[in-house]
Amino acid sequence: MALKVEAKGGKVGIQWDDGSDYHDVTKIYVRGGLEGIQFIKFEYVKAGKKVIGPIHGASGRGFTETFEINNLEKEYLLSIEGYYNASTGVIQCLQFITNKKTYDPIGYNEGARFTLSASRSKIIGFHGFADKYLNSLGAYFIKIPSIQSAIEGAKTTGKGFDDGGDYDGIRKVYVTTDGSAIRHVRFDYDKAGQVETRERGAKTGTQHEFTVNHPYEYITSVEGTYAHTQPYNCVVLTSLTFKTSKGRASPAIGKVTGSKFKLERQGDAIVGFHGRVGSCIDGIGVYYAPLPPSPPPPEKLQGQGGDGGDSWDDGAFKNVKKIYVGQGDVGIAAVKFEYETYTSEVILAERHGKETLLGYEEFSFSLP
């Protein structure tokens, strides 16, 4: 069943809905003008045949651009970014992002910014509002199935394990090695913003950790080695190395000896693991899913108030958990903030302002 994402922009004009009974979007026509996007029109694929949708909006003076998505080369639409005028509600700019490329934007980067996206999903249909202009745009998404790799290392010894490939990404990896073999693995997966943990093997030896800055970073490659190793008298994994979409790599965990392997697929992220486990991790495989577009960077708003004193900047985090406000004789003496990072760690930032004898008032937020 398709996921319907709410239309972004003004909810004025005639409501329209192309539906979600399609397999892919194959062509998009967009006409822009001085006041914003005038109309949009889509061509879809259904049961291998092209379906031409109606025009949404109206044609005036302006320019039309056509965006073709090559479904034959397994290209599909992942997300749309754009801007709309908060006063008129008219869409000002649209940019289409597929698993193969990011197309040039059409229109003007002015107004309120929006994104139409869903984790590990592709767009198959659209809805929105229009009259003389395109006032809003929403989309229908369906999940893209993950692809299971073959197992590297032992393929028959031990017992099979399978975490599945229905996760949005990986937040943290734990690997335990005893110097000759990988004994234990644990994966903290992200699923709809919640952590789900899976672990296999015997936690005997030294544990190593590798943290991923999800959703801004994904594991894209697993390299390793395997060998017939004593005293286990069977083929086991001897080392593992993880690489990410940001170009980072973990140290080689374990002893790099034996046959080498690499689990990687161009343009994909690793979203799950499977393999074989006995007294050690005997073999390992992965699940691939399309590497999603990076979330837009946080928007930095100008500070309000006076410009005296020293400038400070805590940076950007996933959430604000608590705010501490220190009262002074003539106003606010100090503030400090407790944050949640993208790896679910909680940190208390430095105090900004002068310490106060009047104490702090604490404000806590209930986070999902």
What ranges do the domains of the chain cover? 3-143, 147-290, 319-364
Give yes or no on whether 3-143 and 147-290 have one common fold: yes
- Options 2.20.25.90, 1.10.3720.10, 2.100.10.30, 3.40.50.12280; CATH of 147-290: 2.100.10.30
CB atoms within 10 A of CB 354: 10
Q: What is the pLDDT of residue 315?
A: 86
In sequence order, which residues have a C-beta less than 8 Å from that of residue 148 and are 6 or more positions away?
165, 274, 285, 286, 287
Q: Which residue has the tokens 């003076």?
A: 61
Q: pLDDT at position 300, please? A: 79
Class of the CATH domain delimited by 3-143: mainly beta
pLDDT confidence of residue 297? 65
**Exposed, middle or buried, 363 (CB in 10 Å: 0-12/13-18/19+)?**
exposed
Beta pairing class for 194-201 and 234-244: unpaired
Give the integer Cα–Cα distance in Å for 21 and 23.
Answer: 7
Query: Could you tell me the pTM of the whole model?
Result: 0.72
Residue 294's pLDDT is: 65
Structure tokens at 355: 């310490």
- For 144-159, give one letter per residue: b (16+ CB within 10 A) or e: bebeebebbbbeebbe
Per-residue model confidence (pLDDT) at position 368: 57
Nearest of 147, 146, 149 to residue 285 by alpha carbon: 149
Cβ atoms of 217 and 246 closer than 8 Å: yes
Q: Hunting for tokens 């604000």 — which residue is that?
A: 320
Residues contacting residue 190 through CB under 8 Å, at least 6 positions apart: 167, 168, 169, 170, 171, 196, 214, 215
Which residue, chain included where needed, has tokens 């399609």?
A: 22
β partners of residue 236:
227
Q: Rounded to the nearest 5°, which phi and psi values hold at 72?
A: -65, -25
Strand 206-211's sheet: what is its strand order?
A: 194-201, 182-191, 169-177, 206-211
Chunked mean pLDDT (size 10), the chain, 368 residues: 94 96 97 94 96 94 93 93 94 94 92 91 97 97 95 95 96 96 98 93 96 92 96 95 96 97 95 97 96 71 84 87 90 91 81 87 82
Looking only at the bridges linking them, the beta strands covering 14-17 and 121-130 are antiparallel
Whole-number pLDDT of residue 261: 98
Q: What is the pLDDT of residue 296?
A: 63
Tokens of 258: 């034996």
| DSSP 8-state secondary structure symbol assigned to residue 102 | B
- What pLDDT does residue 310 have? 87
The Cα 170–Cα 216 span in angstroms is: 11
Residues 6+ apart with CB under 8 A from 307: none
Give the CA count within 13 Å in the CB-facing half-sphere of 9: 32
Nearest to 36 by CA among 111, 102, 124: 111
